[in-house]
Amino acid sequence: MQLCFDNRRHTFATGFTVDDEHWDKDAQRVKDGYVSLKGKKAKEINKALSVYSDIMDEIFTKYEIVRKYVPTMQQVKDDFLKATKRTARHRATEELRPDQKTVEQAITDFISSEQSIRSWTNDVVKHFNNLKRTFQSWNKDVTLSYLSDATLADFSFWLTSPKGGNLKNSTAKKRIDQTKNFLRWCNRSGYWKNHLYESFQPKFKTIVGDKEIIFLTKEELKLWINYKFPAKEENLERIRDVFAFCCFTGLRHSDVKKLKHKDITDDIIRVVTQKTSDTITINLNSFAKNILEKYKNYDKTFALPVIENQPMNDYLKIIAKKIGIDAPVHFAYYQGNKKYEESKPKYEVISSHAARRTFVVTAMTLGMDTNVIMKFTGHSSLTAMKPYMSVVDELKKTEMSKFEALNL
């Protein structure tokens, strides 16, 4: 809102931002049909503007009739803020144009918009909240208007810098992909027009197949299911059994957690996966049926005693160490231009997803048709199965080498 006073034009923030195309210059009001980013309709905004205009008239009337002197502009501003109850704290939360918002604020709007439209899972929301925190760490004050190919290049360098994000190249690439996903939404939705999602193409040096597939071998799986827990470690036994069930069915943690008795009929599981919303059916083998039988009376609704994913992962590491799942797992990765190699015992890197991988590798090793495996797991393309094929080929090579022990 603008005020001409003392031969000067002064601007008063109202808390609303409206594009020129939605502003009626003659009426000095918002055109019908407009809805702001915060859901304020044209009628609501226009009503507020009329109130602000009346307040300003009252302020000058007060000085003219009651106080009988001409106020300074600062006095007018102070009286206006007091009358509208809009302190500095209120002004800080006013509705900004998208290009004035910090990237953190814009990503919050992005999550809020897409979460409901695209039925995002909690994991997807978590990924973009991580992206938001990453931008906070890099530059919490950076606005959308500041973003360019050059500034995103600085961001990319910071991601892998030991004094910055300190991320592996593979993780940094995911952050950039998420950023471009966010920028694509900005452009597509009209939130902030840009083409950075197309023009910015950083290169990260990576190792093909640098993601080690963590799974239990046949021998380790045997140790896993046959380990005897003392009575005081009943909680660990339950977690062991849930993990084993996933090894024998290929279910993700998110899907076994919501598995109900009614989802199992005639020794077949029928579920809609949380991650992809695909409907899959899984024929139960005897190992999986034995675990279900063990917990049939544990809960009236849910089939198994499944805890949240993060604490489960923590307990799995304890269980694996206790059982002796300690084969070395080798990693090679790039951070910036430097290559690193390291080795850790398997119990340090095991997680709930290792069960699903164990199912795939075991099924392939037993000769199950790849297309059938994909039907059970919900994988949509052979590309997703290639890493498992490489693992199985290596296992076959190792097994074949045993012929060298023949003394003929």
Tens digit of each residue's pLDDT (9 = 90 or more) over 286-320 = 999 999 999 999 999 999 999 999 999 999 999 99
Q: Is the pLDDT of residue 92 over 60?
A: no
Spatial CA neighbour of 243 closest among 220, 267, 212, 270: 220
- Angle, CA 172 vertex, CA 166 and CA 178 arms, to 5°: 135
Query: Residue 331's pLDDT is what?
Result: 87
In this structure, are strands 2-5 and 8-11 parallel, antiparallel, or unpaired?
Answer: antiparallel
The DSSP element (H or E) to which 334 belongs, if any, is strand 328-335
pLDDT bin (cut points 50, 70, 90) of residue 42 is confident
pLDDT bin (cut points 50, 70, 90) of residue 101 is confident
Backbone angles phi, psi at 124, to 5 degrees: -65, -45
Spatial CA neighbour of 261 closest among 295, 235, 287, 236: 295
- Judged by DSSP in three states, 142 sits in coil
Task: Give this prediction's pTM.
Answer: 0.67
pLDDT bin (cut points 50, 70, 90) of residue 405 is low
Report which listed range, 209-223, 309-323, 382-396, is most confident: 309-323
pLDDT bin (cut points 50, 70, 90) of residue 190 is confident
* Cα separation, 330 vs 341, whole angstroms: 7
Pick 401 or 264 by higher pLDDT: 264
- Greatest Cα pair distance in the chain: 119
Distances, alpha carbon 301 to alpha carbons 187, 220, 362, in Å: 45, 32, 30
The DSSP element (H or E) to which 323 belongs, if any, is helix 309-323
Per residue in 240-283, pLDDT (tens digit) is: 999 999 999 999 999 999 999 999 999 999 999 888 788 999 99
Pick 218 or 90 by higher pLDDT: 218
Structure tokens at 197: 């999602």
Domains in the chain: ranges and CATH: 2-95 (no CATH), 99-199 (1.10.150.130), 218-405 (1.10.443.10)
* Cα separation, 37 vs 51, whole angstroms: 21
Spatial CA neighbour of 280 closest among 372, 385, 352: 372
Backbone angles phi, psi at 60, to 5 degrees: -70, -35
Pick 210 or 88 by higher pLDDT: 210
